[in-house]
């Protein structure tokens, strides 16, 4: 009984400290009285917790505020450079690594092209390890100030077992990240790219609200991260949000998953590039070549128009399933966002008798191409500092 009681008290303390850090993160600085009022925690409890947080170096005492009668209140300030986190984003073409502070200010960024032989995943991890060691030696950040490394991966993952089940577009499967912890000598966290993006959006841009959002990540494939009342919804097999593989054309084009007619074969970045190559009979051209053509080539415009139509149909379906407050679009689609944004949002709501624009905000991520990598960096912070809801 006593043991149970002490565990509960420890849990309450951790939760209270996370609440205080979250509040200070948002407000930068507050008095102890304001913290107490805002969180409905007694002044002595606030003081105890603040003292511990000062000892851990996460907040500091920043002097006194003007008195409104009686003693002058002490200001407590959040220290964003008290800890750091690494975010790693692995995509088909590229690996990006960032070191960020607790305010998501990027201290350092590295990137390299994906090696040809991605199948050799271990050598890729060692390359990432070398970059991280180099960053640590350049910035001379003490090891105990680094919370860990978060990986954003374009595949099906089990975050509890640190298990990457597969990445369909890479032909990589069954990787246990646990075994890499000895290489990095710090905690490792993994998350699916769309879920990581949804975490970042929910925490950085919608903090403090009851979030209901679906983040649609459009890259080589398409995936969704689903936030319901601040919790990320993953489903019983942790596969919720694999919306790129919902069928939009019966007996349609063949997908990497083995099925036919999947949404991502029509609406991913790769789908757009493939359509261009097929229609124009070109092989070694890039998406940028195509995007240039859409300015004055009618056929190119038609391809883009058709593509946006497919994208809009899938988004309509997602709105019907989740009735979310926000649909946020991100990922590598950002390279042609300006060309499609207005048209896409119009197409989602035109001839739509069930929803109009005021009932669901469809928008592109304000984090630009950084949603997934910020989400990755958020994972180690979340375990220690922040409240991002539960996995349901």
Binding site for Zn ion (CB under 5 A): 245, 255, 257, 259, 262
**Residue 304's closest CA among 338, 350, 260?**
338
Q: Is 30 helix (H, G, I), strand (E, B) or coil?
A: strand
- Residue closer to Zn ion by CB (options 39, 246) is 246
Min dist. Cβ of residue 219 to Zn ion (A): 14
Q: Is 77 helix (H, G, I), strand (E, B) or coil?
A: strand
Min dist. Cβ of residue 157 to Zn ion (A): 18
- Which tokens hold the place of 168? 């369909």
- Residue closer to Zn ion by CB (options 241, 369) is 241
Min dist. Cβ of residue 268 to Zn ion (A): 10
User: Can you tell me the distance from the alpha carbon of 380 to that of 187, in angstroms, rounded to the nearest whole number?
Assistant: 8
User: Can you tell me the distance from the alpha carbon of 305 to that of 294, in angstroms, rounded to the nearest whole number?
Assistant: 10
Q: Which residue has the tokens 């349609």?
A: 252
Please, are residues 240 and 226 in contact by the beta-carbon 8 Å criterion?
yes
Min dist. Cβ of residue 191 to Zn ion (A): 21
**In the chain, what is the straight-line distance between the N-terminal and C-terminal CA atoms, in Å?**
29
- Residue closer to Zn ion by CB (options 30, 262) is 262
User: Can you tell me the distance from the alpha carbon of 250 to that of 219, in angstroms, rounded to the nearest whole number?
Assistant: 23
- Residue closer to Zn ion by CB (options 186, 240) is 240
- Residue closer to Zn ion by CB (options 72, 259) is 259
- Which tokens hold the place of 34? 């304001």
Min dist. Cβ of residue 127 to Zn ion (A): 30
- Residue closer to Zn ion by CB (options 161, 259) is 259
Min dist. Cβ of residue 321 to Zn ion (A): 18
């Amino acid at each position: 009984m006593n043991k149970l009681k002490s565990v509960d008290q420890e849990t309450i303390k951790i939760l209270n400290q996370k609440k205080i850090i979250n509040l200070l993160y948002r407000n930068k600085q507050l008095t102890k009285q304001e913290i107490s009022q805002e969180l409905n925690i007694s002044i002595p409890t606030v003081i105890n917790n603040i003292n511990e947080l000062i000892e851990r170096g996460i907040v500091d005492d920043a002097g006194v505020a003007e008195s409104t009668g009686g003693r002058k209140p002490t200001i407590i300030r959040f220290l964003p450079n008290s800890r750091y986190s690494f975010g790693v984003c692995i995509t088909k073409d590229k690996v990006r690594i960032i070191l960020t502070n607790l305010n998501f200010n990027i201290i350092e960024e590295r990137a390299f092209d994906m090696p040809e032989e991605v199948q050799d995943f271990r050598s890729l991890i060692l390359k990432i390890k070398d970059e991280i060691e180099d960053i640590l030696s350049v910035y001379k950040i003490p090891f105990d100030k680094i919370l860990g490394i978060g990986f954003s991966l374009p595949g099906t993952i089990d975050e509890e077992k640190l298990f990457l089940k597969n990445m369909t577009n890479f032909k990589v499967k069954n990787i246990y990240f646990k075994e890499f912890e000895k290489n990095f000598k710090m905690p490792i966290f993994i998350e699916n790219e769309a879920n990581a993006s949804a975490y970042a959006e929910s925490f950085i841009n919608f903090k403090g609200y009851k979030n209901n959002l679906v983040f649609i990540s459009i890259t080589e494939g398409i995936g969704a991260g689903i936030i319901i009342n601040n919790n990320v919804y993953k489903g019983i097999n942790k596969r919720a949000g694999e919306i790129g593989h919902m069928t939009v054309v019966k007996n349609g084009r063949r997908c990497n998953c083995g099925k036919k007619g999947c949404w991502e074969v029509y609406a991913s970045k790769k789908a757009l590039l493939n359509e261009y190559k097929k229609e124009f009979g070109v092989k070694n051209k890039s998406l940028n070549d195509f995007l240039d053509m859409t300015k004055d080539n009618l056929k190119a415009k038609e391809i883009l128009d058709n593509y946006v139509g497919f994208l809009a149909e899938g988004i309509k379906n997602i709105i019907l399933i989740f009735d979310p407050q926000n649909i946020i679009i991100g990922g590598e689609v950002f390279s042609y966002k300006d060309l499609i944004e207005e048209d896409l949002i119009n197409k989602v709501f035109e001839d739509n008798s069930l929803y109009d624009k005021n009932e669901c905000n469809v928008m592109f991520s304000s984090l630009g191409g950084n949603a997934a990598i910020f989400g990755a960096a958020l994972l180690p912070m979340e375990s220690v500092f922040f409240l991002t809801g539960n996995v349901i």
